[in-house]
Structure 1
């Protein structure tokens, strides 16, 4: 009985990992493991794994979005303002 549950959880993790790119796959696998362990404690390992996968994917997706926004802000701060007057060169003596 336990082997069937473990097999089902691993199958869900495998399918989710193949379907989700990059950070989402990492989040899904981590969440599924944590959710599966928590769900196993209350005899609902498969449901816990699925819920953990969804929750972790959401978390990592939000985290990636925030990092992308921070990078854009830094990139914008490093570029000179367009349309702003340039500093006048000092005359050579």
Structure 2
């Protein structure tokens, strides 16, 4: 169990260092959720990576929608 938690912590640390501030928000949240789901399925690191990708996609989509809703100056 300690090895799994250590691996998840390393994954999250590596992901947070590899992304910029705007991308890290969605990535970290998605990686945490995906890591837990992947752990239950037996693939924690793969779940964290997939969760990061999904989280980044959702955060970018939300940012685009907010930018389109604001009137241009």
Which 4+ runs in 1 deviate beyond 6 A?
A: none
Gaps in structure 2 of 5+ consecutive residues: none
- 1:8-65 CA distance string (max 9 Å, x none): 2211211211222223101111111100111111111111111101110111011111
Paired residues in the alignment total: 73
Partner in structure 2 of residue 88 of structure 1: none
Matches for 1:13-92 after TM superposition, within 5 Å? 13-71=12-70, 74-75=71-72
RMSD: 1.4
Q: With structure 1 as the length reference, what TM-score do the two structures score? A: 0.69
Gaps in structure 1 of 5+ consecutive residues: 77-93
